[in-house]
Each structure stands twice: as structure tokens, then as C-alpha cells.
Structure 1
């Protein structure tokens, strides 16, 4: 989000423990994660990250990633009806030393809460703006992003059209960005068309789960529009192999779109945690980024994808503006990269 002071735009990242300047975030970010979520059903009881049972393990993982890889920020995309717990996010952030951005919005239709039924776009927009301006539930913790707002299929359903439209209007009204859930990678172009038709600029939009879609031409089209292309299920081999993700990402980089890429692991169930034998939040750093480096991607591009891009997505800042606010020492190092 942005503030204006004496004619100067002041970019800020709104975290669960207060606003941060992008210049205060020196390490990488995870652009799409869950730290407290409940998507469980009778047929899928594992789809939870519960505060009491799993919170300490999540804190331990994030602390270790901060110490080993400099992890500085997690964009936590658990939204309305998904078991949000803003107090747990604030506690995990304070104890791990990793900044956390909370979210608002509605997931895709099968997980819509009852409040969506019968509500028109204006009512849904007001609900999101109230979250953003006054805090989540009875807390004063304000979301810093709208997401993960979802659809399934090539075009959103009628309820999904209402929730996505409300997300776009709330984003325009409040200055936040929108991160989507494109189910199994499908429907990103339809999401982008709907969101931008409401006046939301493409560079304030991240289209989710594109690493699950083996279609480089759509990735290029999304990136060329100015939207961010999220390769955000890294390590979920049951959905897609990391080798395929690597091929798709390298194709997007070769097409000149490194400045549109976001990376993350989308840890969304307890079996993904390290303590449960899963890949954990650090899979991106421990496994996937070394493969990128081995394929010839240098640290400057990795910093772009894992730090500068997430910050620009959240704030709307351009890469040129980010360079202008760097210190002389930072600019010298950037020139030498």
C-alpha cells in the first residue's frame, strides 16, 4: 500500500505487527503460504494447520529459515472462511522474527462461507473494506493483501464473479493488491480480465498456481499484461513435478519476464510440515533454488523473484522507483551484480 507525504509516495508493507518500509526488508519472501488454516472436510481431515497443535512447529521452521536463508517475509493468504487466525499470525511473526502479511477475501466457491450467499457485490466489497480499514474480526490486525481470491474452471462461477469483483473494487478503494487462486492453474486469463475490468491495474494482481499449468504461452500472456505469475506450489510433487516447474519457469525467464515471477510453496496442510515428514516451508530454498542456480540463474535474478518482486507486488512500486530509493552502497552493489 502507499501513503503520500508532501508530494512523495511512501510505500509500505502492512504486516500483522505494523507497517514496514520495503527498504527494511532485506531477505527473501515466501509469496503464498498458510500458517493457520482449516480447509478440512470429512474426507480430508489433514487439510489444517491448527494454532495449538502446529503453531510451535511452524514458528520453529520460520525461525530456522530466517537464520539459514535470511527469510524476512511471509505473505499469508488464508482468507475469510478458511480458518483465519490473525492473533496466531502475530504471535508466530513476533516469535520467529519473520514479518507476516495477513489477507482478506474469499477462496473459490466450494469453500465460500454462508456470508457470500445472497450478498451483492456492494455488500461484499464493504465487508472487505471493513476488514482492511478496521481489522480482522475483533482484532486491530489489518490485512496487507486481498487473497487468495479464487475460481475454478476457465471462467469464474456466478458466486466467484461476485467475490472477485468485490476483491477488485476493495483493492481499488484501499490500495491493496490481489492474489488469486486459479484452481490447478486454470482460469488465470479470465480472472485477470475480470479484475482489470474493475479498474485494478495488472501490476497489482498475482495470478496463482501457474506452476500447475503446463502452458508457457499463457504464462507469457499474463506476464506481458503486467500481472505477476505465481509459481507458488513448489515442492507439491503430487500435483506437478519440480522438474516441470523448473522447465516452465526457465521458459518464462528466457522470454524476459523475470520481473513478473513470484515463488512460494503454499504449505496448506499439516502433513507438509517438516515435523510430519513433509517438504516444509524451506523447500524453495533448500531444493528448488539450487536447481535454478544449476540451470544458470544468477543471484541477482533470484533476489528479484524472491524479494523485490513480492515487495513491488504488495506496494505497487516499480523496479525503477525501488532503485531510486536505494542507498549509494546498495546501488553500488546492484551495479556490480
Structure 2
């Protein structure tokens, strides 16, 4: 079982309290969601890795970025060798994931296996490493569904991931397409015995429904506002309103913030908002609306670390020493 205060990164184990700066809890550094041949929904490890590395290095230097949770899983073009190279070159620890995205990206074993076999497959990856790489995932995610109720294959995957999370001690992050179906996801996951505080429900900033956000948080789950800067889906003005409402309702300790960079056109060097939009644009606006440094630190460091460690509190908020010792996997 994963030690509750130790994170598994693509370059080795890292003590959670050694992460002394902000965390991006839902990003993609290498990705391939191209189903039509257009090549847009891609972060190619050869073509785009230098841009990704440069952005992360800059965020470490300017904002103290201390950890990235990379939620590219099975069927999404996962490449942990590339993640390790990016992590080392940027000087930013990276947590890799395992699981299955939503139905259009399911790999063949989802159709041919039952819940028990799928859960066992995930447990093996967590315990033995991804393929022959030896790199062990540090989170289940992004486990996907679309619509208000998961499709049968998505429900199977959610149940399998919940069982694997329970067996390994890891936490679980979901993909709720356009923010829909989060309550149904949580019901399935907790129905398998996974505590709500080990669950992060994804893309809730795309759902303009404060009541759903409050209910998810009240049940103990983390509520991800993780597409910050994706104005074509939702305006940051609306995100700020929804975030403020959830914080004012007393649930600031259940919010995670990230940008979900998921195609090369979102990279700064290609005219996009980049991984730093959260720190350079969104959080200054949140501060101007009245958020103080302690609240920002809660949302960007303490909450994601508490999520990853299954509820374990971490040390004080300060800039991380990027030369902290890292043990091998």
C-alpha cells in the first residue's frame, strides 16, 4: 500500500511535505486523443516536449511550481519515459496515472474483462510498474464518463478503479465530461467502498450549478475547477463566480485548481494560455476579488496534497527546495 505521506513520481518517491510550492493536480504533458487524423488533440513527446519542459521550468522559477499530476492514462497516449525526461529537465516532480478515460477511448480489455479483472490489472500496474518501465502510478485517473449517468462500460471502469484505489491506497480523479454526471460517479465510487475524501470529481468548472458543487463537497469529495483558461468551454469570469460561491459556502478545503492542457494549441509557445494561466492570470483576479494568500495556498498546495495522500495534512506553506532528495521507485 502507498505510504500516506509519500508520493510516487515518475522519477521516484517524494515525501509529501517536501512539496513546498503550488501543485497542478490535473494536467497532460504527453497525450494523444487524435481520432480524426487532424493531430490537434495531441502533445507529442518528440514535437512538443521542449515547449512543455520550458513552460514547467519557467513556472518553477517564477511561481515555485512544485508538482504536476499528469492524468494521461490507458488509451490516451501515455508515455512515462517521456514524462520522466520532462520531469528531470524541468526540475518539477511529476505523478503518473493509470485507469481508463471515457468510453470512446477505452482499450480492448475493457470490453473483454469484468470489474474484478480490470481492478486486478490496475493493481498490478500500481504495484509492479507500467509495462517494463518500473514507473509506478501515483494516482488513479482520469477515470471517465459522459452524460448524467455513466455508460455501462464506464460504470465498470469506475468500479474497477475504485477497487484498485482501495487496494493500493491511492486516490482517484475522474473525468466528468463537460462537468456532468459527477454525483453519479461519486455514488458508484463510494458504493465500492472508496471514501469520498479519496475522490476528486473533474471538470466541475464547466458545470454552472453551485448546488451540485456544494453537494459533492459536503459529501467529502474534492471538486475540480481544472479547466481554468479554457474560455471556449467556459469563461474565467464564470469560473471565478462558481469558485467564490463554493468557498463562501465553507468548502474551500475541497477545491482543486488546474488548467488541463490537453492539446498543443493550448501551449504558450503556440498561442495558447499555457500551464501558467492559473498562476499568471486567474489567481491574480481571484486575489483582486478578495482571496488572501492563505486561501490561495490552501487551494493550490494543501488541498491537492491532502487529496493525493488520502487526507493526510502536510507541512507549512513555503517554497519547496527543488533539490529535495527523491528515492527510487
Instruction: State the TM-score, normalized to the length of structure 1.
Output: 0.92
Aligned to 1:289: 283
Aligned to 1:306: 300
CA apart distance, 1:2: 4.3
Q: Is contact 1:178-1:205 (8 Å) kept?
A: yes
> Partners in 2 of 1:283 and 1:103 — Cα distance?
23
Q: Return the structure number with greater relative CO, CA threshold 8 A, min gap 6.
A: 2
Q: Report whether the alignment pairs 1:142 with 2:97.
A: no
CA apart distance, 1:43: 5.9
Aligned to 1:71: 65
Aligned to 2:161: 167
Q: Report whether the alignment pairs 1:217 with 2:248.
A: no
2:241 to 219, 241, 247: 247
> Partners in 1 of 2:20 and 2:206 — Cα distance?
29
1:49 to 43, 50, 71: 43
Q: Report whether the alignment pairs 1:197 with 2:197.
A: no
> Partners in 2 of 1:43 and 1:57 — Cα distance?
22
> Partners in 2 of 1:43 and 1:135 — Cα distance?
31
Q: How many residues align?
A: 317
SS at match of 1:150: strand
> Partners in 2 of 1:258 and 1:43 — Cα distance?
41
Q: Is contact 2:197-2:311 (8 Å) kept?
A: no
Aligned to 1:279: 273
Q: Report whether the alignment pairs 1:104 with 2:102.
A: no
> Partners in 2 of 1:191 and 1:44 — Cα distance?
31
> Partners in 2 of 1:110 and 1:2 — Cα distance?
31
**215 and 236 in structure 1: CA distance in 2 versus 1, 3 angstrom threshold:** same
Q: For 1:73-106, what per-residue CA distance to the aligned partner results, in whole angstroms no more than 9, with x for missing partners?
A: 0000000010000011111111111010000000
> Partners in 2 of 1:141 and 1:251 — Cα distance?
39
CA apart distance, 1:298: 0.4
> Partners in 2 of 1:46 and 1:64 — Cα distance?
24
> Partners in 2 of 1:224 and 1:259 — Cα distance?
11
Q: Is contact 1:62-1:281 (8 Å) kept?
A: yes
Following TM superposition, the consecutive aligned residue runs of length 4 or more in structure 1 with deviations greater than 4 angstroms are none
> Partners in 2 of 1:266 and 1:317 — Cα distance?
23
Q: Is contact 2:5-2:17 (8 Å) kept?
A: no
> Partners in 1 of 2:17 and 2:104 — Cα distance?
39
> Partners in 1 of 2:228 and 2:199 — Cα distance?
20
Higher alpha-carbon deviation: 34-43 or 155-164: 34-43
Aligned to 1:332: none
CA apart distance, 1:294: 0.2
**Unmatched 5+ stretches in structure 1:** 4-9, 328-337
Q: Is contact 1:34-1:268 (8 Å) kept?
A: yes
**Unmatched 5+ stretches in structure 2:** 318-329
